Amino acid sequence: MRKDIAFLAIGMAISFLRAPTHGQSATPPTQAGAKRPNVIVIVADDMGYADLGCQGAKDVRTPHIDSLAANGVRFTDGYVSCPVCSPTRAGLITGRYQQRFGHELNPPPPGQASTEGLPLTEKTMADYFKQAGYVTGAVGKWHLGYQPAMRPTRRGFDEFFGFPGGSHSYVDARADANNPILRGTEPVNEKEYLTDAFSREAVAFVNRHADKPFFLYLAYNAIHGPMQSPESYKEPYAAIADPKRQTMAGMLAAMDTGVGQLLDALRQRNIEDNTLIFFISDNGGPTAVNASRNHPFSGFKGQVLEGGIRVPFIVQFKGRIPGGKVYRQPVIALDILPTALAAAGISVPADRPLDGVNLLPYLTGEKNTAPHETLYWRFGPQAAIRRGNYKWVRRDGEEKLFDLAVDPAEQHDLSADKPQLVKELRAAWQEWSAGLAEPLWQGRRARRAPGEPRPAVPNRPAGQRRGQRT
Ligand code: CA
């Protein structure tokens, strides 16, 4: 046998031995001796599409989050699978449309008897990473179940610092006995401004585990209400006339500072290039509540219009993905899990199909097609589907069709001009919807945290009923 053929045969045999098998962690596709990549998923809360410098904001400054885009890829058409907090997180952390397992609506606020949460039959991103030998940590807002069995340390995370509910005071750790700040499973009386505390804990996690592969889920509750910012963060924004926007700018500055501290920690440990970092908001801005902005879209948090579901979405992976790129094909938060698992060489059991797609080959240029032919939304009575640039929306029993390429603000209904397309898209949505579970609970508007103003909906589109938001 020729020497080169012999080497080829040996190489193939090794590849075969290393091939991922169902239900087992696979040897990562990295060079021998190379360390498996770290993964960090940063989730912002209620941040609008236009609230970052790299997304066009002029009155606020977000240099550290912007640097992720400069050194990575910014998605123009990045979506979440729901326009409110908890269902989006359920989709993100499982890689599956959350309606498949009934997590369609926000759960009621935490109470002594709350049983709602991510079904225990679902496998989380942390479960996959933990099984593959990663150290796993969650910092920040959980909102995927309140009972001990549903909290992060029982859902694949080795470590947790944060709160189980959907919102929290930034200045009073004991504001809600049903929603304490926890370290692991123990309540703590955190004294620092909460966003700073979450950044501190994220940096500490990296410093503790820099020598082994880790997965960190950093879910800030900024810039969700209550609107609370230290003067030190607000002061640079004295020129912003709207006091709510000024407070929001301060809350955002705290988060951006924290992202900068996290990046510094990675650099000091010389692991930034080998760390895959996602940044995303969990839904569009509730503009009247937190003075966020969804420009150029119409719609808000709670709606399947673009303003509720298209969000800031960035990935940085210096060692693998060229920086400074803008990616324009539609992607969705469900893609984060399969992308991260692929980067780490972790396989997914075939009996648990994911709806997300591994984006790496699209971002490196190996693949030039669209990652998704179709994206779907179902949120109570609201429905939407996007195929190519066309988007069909049903709200209040009224169907509309938009061409997002020329009408991103969804102002010009084309349904009368293109009835055949409406029929096709409606049928495709119905087929998808028919395969989903019924909602496990009925949504209710989350209880306001102390000091959080009653949300106004002055911009509610004509025809939308009060109480549709959850
Ligand atoms: Ca949210």
- Are residue 378 and residue 278 in the same domain, yes or no? no
Tell me what pLDDT residue 444 has.
Answer: 56
Tell me what pLDDT residue 455 has.
Answer: 40
Tell me what pLDDT residue 450 has.
Answer: 44
- Are residue 150 and residue 188 in the same domain, yes or no? yes
- Are residue 293 and residue 192 in the same domain, yes or no? yes
**How remote is the CA of residue 46 from the centroid of ligand 1, in Å?**
4
Q: Is the peptide bond before 296 cis (omega within 30 degrees of 0)?
A: yes
- With tokens 């790496």, the residue in question is 360
Paired tokens of 331: 């992607």
- Are residue 81 and residue 159 in the same domain, yes or no? yes
Asked whether residue 321 carries a pLDDT value surpassing 50, the answer given is yes
- Which helix (DSSP H) or strand (DSSP E) does residue 326 occupy? strand 325-327
- Are residue 238 and residue 359 in the same domain, yes or no? yes
Dihedrals phi, psi of 313, to nearest 5 degrees? -150, 115
155, part of any domain: yes
Instruction: Residue 397: give its domain's CATH number.
Output: 3.30.1120.10
292, part of any domain: yes
Last residue of a domain, one of 341, 364, 387: 364
**How remote is the CA of residue 461 from the centroid of ligand 1, in Å?**
20
- Are residue 291 and residue 398 in the same domain, yes or no? no
- Are residue 359 and residue 400 in the same domain, yes or no? no
Q: What percent of the chain has pLDDT over 90?
A: 83
**Do 295 and 49 touch, CB atoms closer than 8 A?**
yes
Q: Is the peptide bond before 223 cis (omega within 30 degrees of 0)?
A: yes
**How remote is the CA of residue 401 from the centroid of ligand 1, in Å?**
26
**How remote is the CA of residue 225 from the centroid of ligand 1, in Å?**
10
Rounded Cα gap, residues 11 and 34, in angstroms: 18
Q: What is the pTM of this model?
A: 0.89
Query: Side chain identity at 455, as an amino acid letter?
Result: P
- Are residue 303 and residue 385 in the same domain, yes or no? no
The dihedral of CA 380, 386, 387, 393: what is its sign?
Answer: positive
pLDDT in tens, 263-290: 999 999 999 999 999 999 999 999 999 9
DSSP3 helix / strand / coil % (the chain, rounded to 5): 30, 15, 55
Confidence class of residue 15 from pLDDT cuts 50, 70 and 90?
very low
Asked whether residue 410 carries a pLDDT value surpassing 50, the answer given is yes
232, part of any domain: yes
Tell me what pLDDT residue 109 has.
Answer: 87
Confidence class of residue 452 from pLDDT cuts 50, 70 and 90?
very low
Tell me what pLDDT residue 101 has.
Answer: 97
441, part of any domain: no
pLDDT in tens, 79-101: 999 999 999 999 999 999 999 99
Rounded Cα gap, residues 153 and 139, in angstroms: 11
Range of the domain at 48: 38-364
Higher pLDDT pick, 168 / 352:
168
20, part of any domain: no
To the nearest 10°, report the CA torsion of 245, 250, 251, 252: 90
- With tokens 């994220």, the residue in question is 202
454, part of any domain: no
Nearest CA to 465 out of 397, 378, 391 is that of 397
Confidence class of residue 448 from pLDDT cuts 50, 70 and 90?
very low
- Are residue 147 and residue 93 in the same domain, yes or no? yes
Instruction: Residue 50: give its domain's CATH number.
Output: 3.40.720.10
Tell me what pLDDT residue 351 has.
Answer: 80
- Are residue 63 and residue 204 in the same domain, yes or no? yes
**How remote is the CA of residue 405 from the centroid of ligand 1, in Å?**
27
Could you list the active site residues? 85, 143
Dihedrals phi, psi of 42, to nearest 5 degrees? -105, 125
188, part of any domain: yes
State which residues have CB under 5 angstroms from ligand 1, the bound ion. Answer: 45-46, 85, 282-283
Give CA separation, 55 vs 45, 104, 239, 439, in Å.
16, 28, 21, 34
**Do 40 and 56 touch, CB atoms closer than 8 A?**
no
Tell me what pLDDT residue 33 has.
Answer: 53
Number of domains, the chain:
2
Last residue of a domain, one of 338, 364, 390: 364
- Are residue 162 and residue 250 in the same domain, yes or no? yes
**How remote is the CA of residue 11 from the centroid of ligand 1, in Å?**
48
pLDDT in tens, 51-71: 999 999 999 999 999 999 999
**How remote is the CA of residue 153 from the centroid of ligand 1, in Å?**
22
Residue 152 sits at the vertex; the CA angle it makes with 146 and 155, to the nearest 5 degrees, is: 105
Arithmetic mean of pLDDT over the chain = 90
- Are residue 289 and residue 428 in the same domain, yes or no? no
181, part of any domain: yes
The predicted model gives 305-320 an average pLDDT of 98
Which residues, 6+ apart, have CB-to-CB distance to 377 below 8 Å?
A: 81, 82, 83, 304, 309, 383, 384, 385
Q: How far apart are the first and last CA of the chain?
A: 69
